[in-house]
Structure 1
Amino acid sequence: MIRLAALLALVALPAGCGAAGGRTAPATQGPPRRIVSMNPCVDAVLKDVAAPGQIAAISAYSHDPRATSVPLSWAMRYPAVGGSAEDVIAAQPDLVIAGPHVAVQTIAALKRLGIPLLQTTVPETVAENKAQITAIAARIGQPEAGLALNQRIDSALTKGRWTGPAASALIWQGSGLVPGKGTLADELLTRTGFRNLSPQAGLRKWDVLPLEGMFLNPPRVLLAGRADMGAGDGDANRMLAHPALKKAGRHFRIADYPSDLLHCGGPVIIRSVARLAAVRRELGNAL
């Protein structure tokens, strides 16, 4: 392991020293051979588009059963890195893919050391997700795999499309977290035959709706799931077991919508659409 003191010493060197020595940022010819992902949603994309042996490490979130968006059995094949530059450098990457929530100090250290870096955003539409998949696949030398994944997403959306009336719905996690307009979740609701009630509830793009507020304007379908991303198993999930919510099930449909379908796009879109479409088919023409 590279110790923090050694890392700080390297960062303190003049800009050309780290890369020139070739020890901290090995030059590569062709596609990268040691990719480190610092984002669980990128992990999910790499699972489908990276070639065997290209992945050197994935994000620590993917080792956490409460937070992973990939099968845990797959994630455990790879070392996990946290948010520090020390963790990442120890994995000896020739490409780091980082999301928008990585600390600026970590990004600055990676740039200072000349380590190739691809920074991603949080896509909020299907089109943005597909563009990100294309960009990642091209950067790692796997454009055909990226195209194939995008085709699978298109196929899932076509299969899940609902042409009848839209049923009112809320995606409501155990802590009351609700995705509103302008989110990927909202677009997937619309494509699969639902009308997101978030705007009628006066909610912002991402907001929290208390149990009492949900009862004031109940949806036809409540897509509820445990608030597992970064949350424990206690207070954040108590609302799902509330007696009032159980009684309310007589007046509107409560359908399971796991939190691992909410936080990522990419190939997760395929599973999300399949779940939403199944719930909509079960409703039939009920509004």
Structure 2
Amino acid sequence: MDILTRTILFLALLSPAAANSQSRVASLNLCLDQVLLQWAPPESIVSITWLSAQDQYRSAPVPEHVYLNRAQAEELLPLKPDLVLTGQFGAQRAAARLEALGFTLVRIPDAYSLEQLQVQLQALQDTLGALPALVEQRAQLTALLAESEDKYQQKEKSPEQPTALILSANNITYGSGMLEHQLLTRAGFRNLAAEQGVQQLGRVSLEQVVALQPDLLVFYGGDQDFAIAHLAERHPVVQRYFDRGRTYHLPRQLGYCPALAAVETLQQLKNKRSDIVGKE
């Protein structure tokens, strides 16, 4: 941790806004559940959605005292939360009901890009106070993006940049206009899907993967989630990517709560790029 980050964290601990994190907080949103479980004091959490207790989403222990709600306003009434968090679009009926009953409710903006992620993290800090882990996450994201901007802004689509291709469920790949694309390009990769004209989501066959010859294959989701992963592992050409360490798995959490996964993912992709360039 650098001196700047340590200073920010120290000031955050002294900030009066940190007292907000001790409020009784409830969440009606899966991502916000995860934010509370990982960044907020456990004693401040009174309720999260039932999804966060499921194995496919569980990323932190759920304290025994926390009530698992199904986004119904009536469930939160006896809990008397000081603050209720929800996303922009989900649980709208419950949110409106709680607001009508006088509860303090804050809609945290969703994040589908790095720019929106910065706005989301700011909104979380404005709402929850300067939680140390939240402040650190914002500082790291800002530093990584500034470094990427300085280093790669002049090298867009440069031949020296290694190439990458994302493979997801049902042969889906990610092109321009997606957070995943931004992470690749900010890490110093050329996204071959975007260069093939894919905007947002598209499809790619195993034959196309072999023909494009990306320097890095990026898998999204577990191997059990999509057939192409199994085909890739059996294909003699693509198997070389595994043998040479030219693969990377995007964390599942990036898809539903990038606030908790984007910084680590960007750093790991940057490290992967350095690894690849160093071996060339």
If the length of structure 2 is used for normalisation, what is the TM-score? 0.71
SS in 1 for 2:226: helix
Correspondence for 1:221 among 211, 216, 222: 216
What are the superposed Cα offsets for residues 103-145 of structure 1, whole Å, 9 maximum, x if unpaired?
A: 4333332333332211123223333322222222222233776
**What's the counterpart of residue 238 of structure 2?**
249
Correspondence for 1:33 among 8, 23, 32: 23
**What's the counterpart of residue 254 of structure 2?**
261
What are the superposed Cα offsets for residues 57-89 of structure 1, whole Å, 9 maximum, x if unpaired?
A: 223333223234xx3336777443333334444
Q: 1:241: Cα distance to partner?
A: 0.9
Does 1:82 find its partner at 2:77? no
Could you list the runs of 5+ residues in structure 1 that have no partner in the other structure?
1-29
**What's the counterpart of residue 281 of structure 1?**
274
SS in 2 for 1:284: helix
Letter in 2 for 1:242: L
Correspondence for 1:67 among 57, 64, 67: 57
Does 1:138 find its partner at 2:133? no
Matches within 5 A, 1:29-178: 31=20, 33-47=23-37, 49-68=39-58, 71-73=59-61, 78-89=66-77, 91-142=79-130, 146-157=134-145, 165-178=160-173
Q: 1:125 to 1:275 in 2, by over 3 A?
A: same
The answer to which of 138-147 and 53-62 deviates more is 138-147
Paired with 1:225 and 1:257, the residues of 2 have a C-alpha distance of 5
Q: 1:243 to 1:191 in 2, by over 3 A?
A: closer
Correspondence for 1:187 among 182, 188, 201: 182
- Residue identity over aligned pairs, in percent, reads 23
Paired with 1:179 and 1:77, the residues of 2 have a C-alpha distance of 40
Is 1:62–1:75's contact at 8 Å kept on the other side of the alignment? no
Paired with 2:255 and 2:269, the residues of 1 have a C-alpha distance of 12
Correspondence for 2:265 among 253, 266, 272: 272
SS in 1 for 2:258: coil
Letter in 2 for 1:205: Q
The total of aligned residue pairs comes to 250
What are the superposed Cα offsets for residues 129-175 of structure 1, whole Å, 9 maximum, x if unpaired?
A: 22222222222233776433311333455678865832221222244
The answer to which of 253-262 and 76-85 deviates more is 76-85
Once superposed, what is the RMSD of the aligned Cα atoms?
3.4
Letter in 2 for 1:121: P
Could you list the runs of 5+ residues in structure 2 that have no partner in the other structure?
1-18
Paired with 1:90 and 1:171, the residues of 2 have a C-alpha distance of 46
Paired with 1:267 and 1:141, the residues of 2 have a C-alpha distance of 17
Is 1:189–1:276's contact at 8 Å kept on the other side of the alignment? yes
**What's the counterpart of residue 4 of structure 2?**
none
Is 2:37–2:61's contact at 8 Å kept on the other side of the alignment? no
Q: 1:199 to 1:157 in 2, by over 3 A?
A: closer
Q: 1:194: Cα distance to partner?
A: 0.9
Paired with 2:212 and 2:65, the residues of 1 have a C-alpha distance of 46
SS in 2 for 1:72: coil
Paired with 2:131 and 2:61, the residues of 1 have a C-alpha distance of 26
**What's the counterpart of residue 9 of structure 2?**
none
Q: 1:154 to 1:52 in 2, by over 3 A?
A: same
